[in-house]
Structure 1
Amino acid sequence: MKSFISGLPKVELHLHLEGTLEPELMFILAERNNVTLPYSSIESLKAAYQFHDLQAFLDLYYQGALVLQTEQDFYDLTYAYLERCKEQHIIHTEVFFDPQIHTQTGTPFDVVAEGITRALKDGEANLGISSGLIMCFQRDLSEEDAIETLKQSIAYKDDIVAVGLDSSELGNPPEKFERVFAMARNAGLKTVAHAGEEGSADYIWGAIEALHVDRIDHGVRCTDEPKLVQYLIEHQIPLTVCPLSNVQLNVFGEMTQHNIVELLKQGVLVTINSDDPAYFGGYLNDNYLTVAEAFGLTKQEVARFSENAIMASFLSVERKQRLQQKLEHYLDIQFRPII
């Protein structure tokens, strides 16, 4: 199974670039930018990666992001992730970035966007990995701040395919951002939103009805309301689920309690993703393998997650068909009878 997953052509749809900041790179960038970290070593930093909830993780996440200050920093961060993609046979990725984290501490929007977009273009040219860029608004900040961020992004309308909504759910329902999401849709952008991770099923309904999202990030609390699950199935609204992250943040006590396989078998368009892999102990292949082992999945069942991710992506129909052909070619070889 490990070998099968390693070679399986995959698509990742829920990945925060700032969440790929490995401890080693964090220390390199801290030294580069004269930032003092509150950790004496890489080992002491890794020891802090024990989170009891989402906010505990976010506190460390925002602290780590302070080392990202120049265009080259954002380039190095992004390209390092794309090299991981190459190793893990991820053929397309749609990545989040959080500009407000950086603009709030004085780093201009253009510095962030230029570094990331340059790396994504080089990743396609040099590594053959296609990508889409999703600009997330922080839901703990005001909608006015989100609107200003959207305005700053206009110069990058050819690079940004969608807007998203992340950070702490509780007390920050989707309805808070109804106007800015309408503005983004009117500008031709796709829309996604984190919902139903720490928030209730009502947050998922809010993302669907108030924000009119094209897909839901996380969404695992949907099973609290059977009518919502049925709605997701009927309308084929994708869920970008992050299994290791969910266990690490105590959304589920252990992987065998996760509902991702239940949702797959019910017909929900559910996908596997790695969220913030530097912090949660695993990139995409690790998430696939952990789910497969926890539930004793067959190779055909595992492959359905990859097929779902292709379908749920923001690629053109033609490009989706080409990726589907790659997947089918791989599966044909894997399941070809031995004579």
Structure 2
Amino acid sequence: MKTFIENLPKAELHLHIEGSFEPELMFKIAKRNKIEIPYNSVEEIEEAYKFNCLQDFLDIYYQGAGVLITEQDFYDLTYSYLEKCATQNVRHTEIMFDPQTHTERGISFKTVINGISKACDDAKEKLGVSSLLIMSYLRHLSEEDAFKTLEQSIPYKDKIKAVGLDSSEKGNPPSKFKNVYEASIKVGYIPLAHAGEEGPAEYVWEAIDILDIKRIDHGNNSLQDKNLVNELVKRDIALTVCPLSNTALQVVDNLKNHPLKKMLDLGLKVTVNSDDPAYFGGQVNKNYIEIQKALDLSKFEIYTLAKNSFQYSLLENSKKQQYLNELELYYTNNK
């Protein structure tokens, strides 16, 4: 089964590029930029990557992002992740980035987007990995701040496919961002949002009814509300589930208790993703492998998860079909 998963064509739909920052690369970029970090070795950074809740993780996450200064830094960060995609048969990925994490530090939007997008262009040509970018608003900041980010993005909107909503969920409901989402949709961005990770099912309702989102990031707590589950199935809204992230942040106490299989059984369109792989102990293949073992998922269920990842991507239909055909051929030959 491990080999089946490793060679399985797949897409990753829930990945924060700042959360792919491996300790070795962080240490290297900090030295290059002559930035003092409170760690004397890669091993010390690895130790700091152990935490108990979402807020502890976010504190370390933003500290790590602070060493990213130049376009080259953002290029190196992104290309490093895309190289890992290529080795895992991730054929397509949809990368979230947090402009406010950087613009608040005085880094220009241009520096961030150009570094990331150039790496994506090079990876498509050299590695055969396609990608799309999702500009995420930080929900612990104000809607006014999100509007500033939206304005900054306009000159680069050809490089951005969608908007998302991430960071601290508790106390920051989707409805807080109603106006900026309406404006983002008018610009042409596809609306997505994190909901139902630490927040309640009500946040998922808000995301689909108030923000009109097309895909839910996480969505675990949707299972608290049977009517919500039925609505997600009816509207054909997929969930980008992140198993190792859920256990690292104690959203789920043990992978054996993860709701992914139940979600599939209820007809929800579930995908498997790594979220912030450098911090949560595994790239996307490890997420597949670990959740398969924990829940004893069948080859057909693993195939279904991969199929969903292409079907509910933001790709044009012709490209989706190309990847789905590739997956179908692989599954037929390896049942």
TM-score by length of 1: 0.98
Per mean C-alpha deviation after superposition, the further-off stretch among 42-51 and 138-147 is 42-51
Q: CA deviation at 1:302?
A: 0.6
The 5 Å alignment of 1:171-250 reads: 171-250=171-250
Question: For residue 146 of structure 2, what is the aligned residue in structure 1?
Answer: 146
Residues in 2 aligned to 1:189 and 1:27: alpha-carbon distance in whole angstroms:
35
Q: CA deviation at 1:235?
A: 1.0
AA matched with 2:19: G
- Please tell me whether residue 258 in structure 1 is matched to residue 258 in structure 2: yes
Q: CA deviation at 1:159?
A: 1.0
Residues in 1 aligned to 2:259 and 2:99: alpha-carbon distance in whole angstroms:
32
Residues in 1 aligned to 2:46 and 2:125: alpha-carbon distance in whole angstroms:
33
Residues in 2 aligned to 1:156 and 1:213: alpha-carbon distance in whole angstroms:
22
* RMSD (Å), alpha carbons: 0.7
AA matched with 1:54: L
Q: CA deviation at 1:48?
A: 1.8
Residues in 1 aligned to 2:16 and 2:331: alpha-carbon distance in whole angstroms:
29
Q: Give % identity.
A: 52
Question: For residue 97 of structure 2, what is the aligned residue in structure 1?
Answer: 97
Q: Structure 1, unaligned stretches of length 5 or more?
A: none
Q: CA deviation at 1:316?
A: 1.1
Q: CA deviation at 1:81?
A: 0.5
Residues in 2 aligned to 1:22 and 1:300: alpha-carbon distance in whole angstroms:
33
AA matched with 1:94: E
Residues in 2 aligned to 1:66 and 1:48: alpha-carbon distance in whole angstroms:
15
Q: CA deviation at 1:195?
A: 0.6
Residues in 2 aligned to 1:49 and 1:221: alpha-carbon distance in whole angstroms:
26
Residues in 1 aligned to 2:199 and 2:174: alpha-carbon distance in whole angstroms:
10
Cα deviation 1:26-76 (Å, max 9, x = unaligned): 000000111111112111211122221100000000000001100000000
- Please tell me whether residue 169 in structure 1 is matched to residue 137 in structure 2: no
Question: For residue 278 of structure 1, what is the aligned residue in structure 2?
Answer: 278
SS of equivalent residue, structure 2 residue 161: strand
- Aligned residue pairs, count: 335
Question: For residue 81 of structure 1, what is the aligned residue in structure 2?
Answer: 81
Question: For residue 33 of structure 2, what is the aligned residue in structure 1?
Answer: 33
Question: For residue 4 of structure 2, what is the aligned residue in structure 1?
Answer: 4
Residues in 2 aligned to 1:288 and 1:85: alpha-carbon distance in whole angstroms:
14
Question: For residue 19 of structure 2, what is the aligned residue in structure 1?
Answer: 19
Per mean C-alpha deviation after superposition, the further-off stretch among 149-158 and 85-94 is 149-158
Question: For residue 327 of structure 1, what is the aligned residue in structure 2?
Answer: 327
Residues in 2 aligned to 1:226 and 1:291: alpha-carbon distance in whole angstroms:
24
AA matched with 1:305: L
Residues in 2 aligned to 1:281 and 1:136: alpha-carbon distance in whole angstroms:
23
